[in-house]
Amino acid sequence: MAGIGVVVAILVTLAAVLIPWLPTSASREMARIELVYWVATIISIGIFTLVVSVIVYSVLTFRAAPEDESDGPSIHGNTGLEVVWTLLAVTLVVAIGVLSAVVLSQNGNAGTNPLAVNVYAQQFAWRFEYPQQNKLKSGELVLPLGRKVEFHMTAADVIHSFWIPEMGQKQDLVPGIQTKIIVTPTRTGTFTLVCTELCGLGHATMRAPVRVLSSADFAAWVKEKQSGGGGGGTGAALFASAGCGSCHTFTPAGTTGKIGPSLDDLAAAAKAAGQDVTAFTHESIVDPGKVIASGYQNGVMPTNYGQSYSAQEIDALVKYLTGAGQ
Ligand code: CUA
């Protein structure tokens, strides 16, 4: 019996220690969250072990002999024991509470000079804007190493949720209000921002790449973005930053989304609808409910692209999609 117990204990310990239960931290906030997590887990393991040991010991030691049907002795409790376990439990719960409050307050502190990033979420894409970098726009989240980043977030349609697993912090984006979250990257590399609020048919595809660069590389990226690409003016850049590819297959962009119809043969779709391809494509972007491709539902594609983007941007996108921009 004791042998089995020891074997089980060893296997459980190996599973606990060898499996990487949490992603390797890539932010100061995540490191603090991990601390709370492990403190609470270790306390729970200690209490669980103590309780189970007492139960097993009691069951083995105090069980009734066969055929013994008499009542057990009447026991009126043990004041000393009750005081100890009450105080112990209160102390541990208060300790976890205080530690959590300290971590929550540190993780919510933006410091004196955070980098501001505006985050816009809509079904089913992320867009980023850097107000201190001349309102630089990007479909990819690029962050400098070691600097606090304060995200100002809002949603255009329904509730979404911002989460980069390696960076710990998680926050909802809600239409009509602005929510905030702070992340301080501690590791360069490539990560993924995922939406963790079920927001519709394309929820699972609502992801955005995240790159953490050294501060010099970040400055170089900002410079290049500002001088080059024309601030996302080209149709290809807009297609990427608006997140069209998470729902639509479009071979020139290398996307394979299946939520909405393929955009590979718009000429045929326009012909079927009895329209000119340019007018048809434009209408399908700004008023997607007008013509619904067979096999697809109305109301899935957002109807606000006409408001979110300028007329020139939409025109560039239409040219890109119809091949007229090549
Ligand atoms: Cu946005 Cu799920």
187 vs 8: CA distance, rounded Å = 37
Give CA–CA dist 184/169, Å, rounded: 10
Is residue 115 within 8 Å of residue 136, measured between CB atoms? no
CA distance 237 to 233: 7
Q: What local confidence, expressed as pLDDT, does residue 164 receive?
A: 97
Q: pLDDT per residue over 46-64, tens digit each?
A: 999 999 999 999 999 988 8
Q: What are the residues whose beta carbons fall under 8 Å from the beta carbon of 212, sequence distance 6 or more?
A: 26, 142, 143, 144, 145, 185, 187, 188, 189, 191
67: left (phi over 0), alpha (psi -120 to 50) or beta: left
What was the pLDDT predicted at 252? 87
Q: State the first-to-last Cα distance of the chain, in angstroms, to the nearest integer.
A: 76
Could you tell me the distance, in angstroms and rounded to a whole number, from the CA of residue 204 to the centre of ligand 1? 7
For the full predicted model, state whether its pTM sits above 0.75. Answer: no
Closest CA to 244 of 105, 125, 87: 125
Instruction: Please tell me the residue having the least CA distance from ligand 1 atom 1.
Output: 160
CA 217, distance to chain mean position in Å, is 25
Nearest to 291 by CA among 249, 319, 261, 323: 261
Residues 299/293, Cβ–Cβ less than 8 Å: no
Query: What's residue 43's pLDDT?
Result: 92
Q: Model confidence at 231, in pLDDT bands (50, 70, 90)? A: very low
pLDDT of the residue at 229: 52
Which ligand 1 atom minimizes the distance to the CA of 121? 1
Is it the case that residue 325 has pLDDT exceeding 80? no
Give distance in angstroms: CA of 244 to centre of ligand 1.
Answer: 14
Q: Say whether pLDDT at 44 is over 80.
A: yes
Task: Return the ligand 1 atom nearest residue 159 CA.
Answer: 1
Ligand 1: centre distance to CA 120 (Å): 12
Confidence of residue 232 (pLDDT cuts 50, 70, 90): very low
**DSSP code for 198:** -
Q: Residue 230: pLDDT band by 50, 70, 90 thresholds? A: very low
pLDDT, tens digit (0-9, with 9 covering 90-100), for 86-139: 999 999 999 999 999 999 999 999 999 999 999 999 988 899 999 999 889 888
Task: Give the Å distance between the CA of 161 and the centre of ligand 1.
Answer: 6
Is residue 32 lining ligand 1, measured as CB closer than 6 Å?
no
pLDDT for 164-217, tens place per residue?
Answer: 999 999 999 999 999 999 999 999 999 999 999 999 988 998 999 999 999 999
Distance 173 CA to ligand 1 centre (A): 9
CA 227-116-111 angle, to 5 degrees, is 135
Whether residue 235 contacts residue 244, with contact meaning beta carbons closer than 8 Å, is answered with no
Nearest to 116 by CA among 83, 143, 94, 149: 149
Contact 313 CB / ligand 1 (< 6 Å): no
Give the residue-averaged pLDDT of 253-270.
87
Cβ atoms 160, 179 nearer than 8 A: no
From the CA of 123, give the closest atom in ligand 1. 1
Q: State if residue 194 touches ligand 1 by the CB under 6 angstroms criterion.
A: no
Share of the chain above pLDDT 90, in %: 51
